[in-house]
A and B are shown apart, each in its own frame.
Chain A
Amino acid sequence: MTAKTLLSTHDLKARYGDFQALYGVDLDIAEGEVVALIGANGAGKSTLLKSIMGLIRVGADMVRLDGRPVGGSKPHQMVADGVAIVPEGRRLFAGMSVLDNLRVAVDHAAPGRGDAWTIERIHALFPILKEKQAVPVQSLSGGQQQMVAIGRALLNQPRLLLCDEISLGLAPKVVKEIYQSIPSISANGTAIVLVEQDVGLAKSASDRLYCMLEGRMTLTGRSAELSREAIGEAYFGASHAVA
């Protein structure tokens, strides 16, 4: 790995009130890299992304961007620093048009990043969004809404894009269409963290892979080199792997 580390977490711990969800998680991602993050329901994948994004309070040194401590920054500061998220459940702005949803991201794009992504480019990537631009966003299908969520995050001009289960609940054909957009996103130099339930999809779309279990990292390695058995063990825990 010659590329410079873009973002890293260090012994990241996170809690919801009394409930501890992350027990010291280490992850790093280099510029332009695609990293998959897998794990069973409740493993803490979304919590990890939310902690990076500043939606959950964490210690400053637990998250570093360009080596700089940024843990505990506000979400809007993270966006300004070049981190964007496609959140779990899409979280679009209901009541606003497709185009206005995208414009909000254009309005708040990370400064000094140029405009690699424009609304025209998003329309080229997902042509249906041009056709539907004046439509209230909540009237789109699930797949189309996911495209808006991805487009919105890209228009923040991120150096690092966090994607939380972008395939969830979508028809296989739509999942394929959305995953086909990943190479053109990383071709832009954008690093991507892909949280994914589908292990096969996660493996094939990524350079490296992390697996979480109950708030801890249980496996990491180059996606092409990890065996099914190793992943199964890390995914379900050693005790379950024999079953």
Chain B
Amino acid sequence: MQWLDGLVQGVLLGGLYAQYALGMALMFGVMRVVNITHGDLMILLALVGISLASTFSLGPWSVLVVLVALGGIIGIILQRLILNRVVGADPLPSLIATFGLSIALQNAMLQVWSADTRSLPSDGLAQASFQLGPLFVGVLPVIVLITATVLTAALAATMQYTRFGRSLRAAAADVEAAAMTGIDPKAVYAGATALAVGILGFAAVFQSMRSTVSPADGAFQLIYAFEAVIIGGMGSIWGAFIGAMVLGISQSIGFRIDPGFGILAGHLVFLTILALRPQGILGKG
């Protein structure tokens, strides 16, 4: 019973992690850009959302719309100002540039919002639950999981079947050849980063409704997102979703073995998969 509950809660937690991981799957998995600010941007969006909600008494769904749009704009600015200068086969320049930016962002957020933990009022949604056979399941985590599944399906279909998706895959395969075939790589990359950070708008709302956020929390989202993408297999959108599930389930089961073991269990499963199947679950080769 306890293990079944652990599994169900793990899948639900995986839904939240999938929302962290999808943007990373695009940027790291497909474009091979290492964006260390990934988690910080999610925290930034969450803090902006919490402030907006209290200042203009907005409900969580209005905040969601604003944050997704704001995330898209931040993504375009990030790509145009910083990442376009460091994009290339070597991920190291993007790592160094965004590492500096990550620290600057965390300090700026501390200045504006202080180190307090905050959360987004959920209109009682965070407390609502229903009974599923012998288990109690939260309504909000189920909404998070459904949203994550729909986002994953939409992003995977975008990559596979649209002009934008083909352009992005082509630019990631050979950026010069893509340009010679008529693609404007900078415009495509700006679109992809806008999409990646826009999706963090969803993660920001759900994270701050489910639990709390504070300016230094971004490192957790960053590492979970990296791990999910690598577990699932670089370049695979559904892989990132599966990787997020693996992490969520590992943490949740680990937590039931020993409350102090939860987070560590996730990292251990990540390391085990990295050792046994370095290309990831859905990775090729």
Contact = CB atoms under 8 A, between A and B. Distances in A.
A76 B182 contact: yes
B170 to A, nearest CB: 5
A189 B183 CA distance: 24
Nearest to A54: B179
Nearest to A137: B173
Contact of A91 (B176, B182, B183): B176
Contacts, number: 71
Contact of A96 (B166, B179, B180): B166
Contacts of B182: 75-76, 79-80, 104-105, 107-110, 156
Contacts of A105: 181-182
A152 interface: yes
Contacts of B179: 55, 74-76
A111 B178 CA distance: 17
B174 interface: yes
B235 interface: yes
B177 interface: yes
B176 A94 contact: no
B215 to A, nearest CB: 39
A107 B167 contact: yes
B177 to A, nearest CB: 4
Of the candidates A80, A85, A104, A107, the one having the most CB atoms from chain B within 10 angstroms of its own CB is A104
B176 A103 contact: no
Contact of B176 (A55, A79, A100): A55
B90 interface: no
Contacts of B177: 87, 91-93
A74 B184 contact: yes
B174 A53 contact: no
A79 B167 contact: no
A226 to B, nearest CB: 31
Interface size class of B (residues with CB under 8 A): 10 to 19
A55 B182 CA distance: 12
Contact of A104 (B170, B184, B235): B170
A55 to B, nearest CB: 7
A95 interface: yes
B169 interface: yes
Contact of A93 (B163, B170, B184): B170
A96 B169 contact: yes
Interface in A26-79: 53, 55, 74-76, 79
B166 A103 contact: yes
Nearest to A89: B177
A113 to B, nearest CB: 12
A104 B181 contact: yes
Contact of B181 (A55, A94, A152): A152
A108 B178 CA distance: 10
Contacts of B167: 104, 107-108
A92 B170 CA distance: 9
Contacts of A156: 181-182
Interface in B22-53: none
A101 B173 CA distance: 11
A110 B235 CA distance: 30
Given A94-B173, A96-B173, A53 B180 contact: yes
B92 to A, nearest CB: 21
Contacts of A75: 176, 179-180, 182
B81 to A, nearest CB: 19
12 contacts: A55-B176, A84-B181, A91-B177, A92-B177, A93-B170, A93-B174, A95-B169, A100-B166, A103-B166, A105-B181, A108-B183, A156-B181
Interface of A: 53, 55, 74-76, 79-80, 84-85, 87, 91-96, 100-101, 103-105, 107-110, 152-153, 156
Given A94-B174, A108-B167, A156-B182, 18 more contacts: A76-B184, A79-B180, A79-B181, A80-B182, A84-B181, A91-B174, A93-B174, A95-B173, A95-B235, A96-B169, A96-B170, A100-B169, A104-B166, A104-B178, A104-B182, A107-B163, A108-B181, A110-B182
Interface of B: 163, 166-167, 169-170, 173-174, 176-184, 235
